[in-house]
Chains A and B, each alone.
Chain A
Amino acid sequence: MTALPYLAILRARFVLMLQYRAAAFAGFATQCWWGGIKIMVMAAFYASAARQPIDLAQVITYTWLGQGLLGLLPWQADAEVSEAVETGNVAYERLRPVDTHTLWLARAIAARAANTSLRVVPMFVAAAIVLPLIGLGAWRWRMPSSPQAGTLFAISISLTVLLSSAFTVLLNIAVTALKTRRAANLAPVLVSPLSGMIVPLVLMPVWLQPFLFWQPFAGLVDIPYRIYFANLTGMAALAGIAAQTLWIVLFVLAGRAWMARVMARVDMQGS
């Protein structure tokens, strides 16, 4: 089997996403707004106790990275798959002459990558270039701390796309098994606190750190961002990348096994 059908899905998704420019603009405005509030709050916290594992400039960069790369997070199952389950069209998914797990993975990667690459550029322009120009340089999105950090970040964030997509496929399978898109409703409960989206994980209590580092969702936000501003360097950065890789492999293996079981006795519903 070749990779061609999967690449075609990637390309189609990009073209589709680029049609939604108004939605992207609304998203951009929302992200600027959120980023601004979060930064003012964190600046106020840091004014009272500045000595922390990461400094204020790093938290600000973390915030902008988080807003720009928001689309990488697996909040819910793939909308197309949810719809297919609810209408019975999931039968078509099984009829396509491609492996369903790989198909769903490719679709999730395409959706995440297309969605994010469209949104990260304006966010970067606004936060890294415009902010210093209008005199708010202290609030700017900084460059990676070193060329090495930049390279490791590029690797790590690519793994984030895979990790997030592998988890999305797990959500898809849960939706298929329970026959309702609500099956994925609890995903944000895990994803937002454990990825570091609500509070950077390094600012959580010290005794929680080993657990927080090795649980799967750290690889979505915390690990790549800390590599970006060289809070994780050398062996620690490699350990982070290893944790991401480990969870991708486990998610894919679990997803394939689970899908085989679910698809063996899936009911079709709909008219």
Chain B
Amino acid sequence: MNSLSLYFSFIRNCLRAQMLFPTAFLLRFGSQFIITITEFGGLYALFMRFHHIRGWTFPEIAMFYGVVSVAFALADTTCRGFDMFGPQFVKTGDFDRVLLRPRPATLQLMGFEFGFTSLGRVLQGGIALAIAIALLHIDWSLAKVFLVVWAMTGGFALFFGILLLQATLSFWTVESLEIVNTLTYGGIEAAQYPLDIYANWFRKFLTFVVPLGCVIYFPIATVLGRNDVAGVAPWLGAAAPLAGVAFLAVAFAAWRIGIGHYTSTGS
């Protein structure tokens, strides 16, 4: 069986298992959706009062918000195995079993749990995007559609990389890994606004260290025709999501080193 079909059979099994308790499944899906949609409602309430944020309007922010939400939710859906890696695999010693199987460890972890309930956030992000597209009068072209999808892909790669680094950290410690939430959930919070509202040091951090700005802000500002504010040329805005892919590549390298360091802890 090749890797791809194995992965899909992992996913099918996850869906079957989760569907054994349909009420619980729907409740989790629903609560994910409602929680995130109330956040979006809060954003709308702020715009009703303040009208704009440094010249950016609500539909424009909804665009950033939709793209970053979908990107994160897709990463969260497919990478739960890395998110829970410390407590579930390292602490218990279960990672030994993963390593013994004649299949890539990364693939097994990606197939460990498919978070169908996180799709509630995808739905919410999709609604935000739909609102943005309906309210904004963008002159759509194939290139712009591609750029939105490309920004999401870069965002997905970046969040995947963050979760992979979190998993890598658990080779050294399994305590207090929730600090990584500052980059995941905190990342969504930060990247839903255009970078130019932030202090300089924070803007640099989001461009060069954890390149959320590269994967969301620069390309989407390009789609919105606000390159001047973002301070990037259109070609640079279009190329910027590569930074997310590069981040993922670095995270993979770290992950490989981490696996090399792994010593079993279980009993």
Against B, the Cβ 8 Å flags (1 = close, 0 = not) of A30-63 are 1001101110110011111100100000000000
Contact between chains at B38 and A30 (CB < 8 Å): no
Query: Which of A23, A30, A45 makes the CB contact (< 8 A) with B50?
Result: A45
Contact between chains at B193 and A186 (CB < 8 Å): no
Residue A231, interface by CB 8 Å: no
Residue A246, interface by CB 8 Å: no
Closest residue to A193 on the B side, CB-wise? B38
Query: Which of A22, A44, A52 makes the CB contact (< 8 A) with B54?
Result: A44
- Report A-chain residues with C-beta under 8 Å of the C-beta of B178: 23, 26-27, 30
Closest residue to A201 on the B side, CB-wise? B45
Specify the main secondary structure of chain B where it touches its partner.
helix
Contact between chains at A199 and B45 (CB < 8 Å): yes
Against A, the Cβ 8 Å flags (1 = close, 0 = not) of B175-216 are 110110110001001100100011100100000000000000
* Nearest CB on A from B50, distance (A): 4
Residue A260, interface by CB 8 Å: no
- Report A-chain residues with C-beta under 8 Å of the C-beta of B198: 40
Cα A44 to Cα B51 with chains together (Å)? 12
Contact between chains at A48 and B54 (CB < 8 Å): yes
Residues of A within 8 Å of B, CB-based: how many? Answer: 34
Stretch at the interface among B28-36, B70-78, B88-96, B133-141: B28-36
Closest residue to B54 on the A side, CB-wise? A44
- Report A-chain residues with C-beta under 8 Å of the C-beta of B42: 193, 198-199
Contact between chains at A37 and B186 (CB < 8 Å): yes
- Report A-chain residues with C-beta under 8 Å of the C-beta of B199: 40
Residue B39, interface by CB 8 Å: yes
- Report B-chain residues with C-beta under 8 Å of the C-beta of A22: 175-176
Q: A48-B50, A182-B28, A198-B38 are in contact. Are A40 and B176 (CB under 8 A)?
A: no
- Report B-chain residues with C-beta under 8 Å of the C-beta of A29: 179, 182
Query: Which of A33, A36, A41, A205 makes the CB contact (< 8 A) with B45?
Result: A205
Cα A44 to Cα B45 with chains together (Å)? 15
Residue A180, interface by CB 8 Å: yes
- Report B-chain residues with C-beta under 8 Å of the C-beta of A44: 53-54, 193, 197
* Nearest CB on B from A52, distance (A): 7
Kindly identify, within residues 5 to 61 of chain B, every residue whose CB is under 8 Å from any CB belonging to chain A.
24, 27-28, 31, 34-35, 38-39, 41-42, 45-46, 48-55
Contact between chains at B197 and A49 (CB < 8 Å): no
Contact between chains at A37 and B48 (CB < 8 Å): no
21 of the cross-chain contacts (CB-CB < 8 Å) are A26-B176, A27-B178, A30-B178, A33-B182, A34-B186, A34-B189, A37-B189, A37-B190, A40-B199, A41-B193, A44-B53, A44-B54, A45-B50, A46-B50, A48-B50, A48-B52, A49-B50, A186-B31, A186-B34, A193-B41, A198-B38
Residue A204, interface by CB 8 Å: yes
Kindly identify, within residues 179 to 210 of chain A, every residue whose CB is under 8 Å from any CB belonging to chain B.
180, 182, 185-186, 188-189, 192-193, 198-199, 203-205
Contact between chains at B46 and A30 (CB < 8 Å): no
Closest residue to B186 on the A side, CB-wise? A33
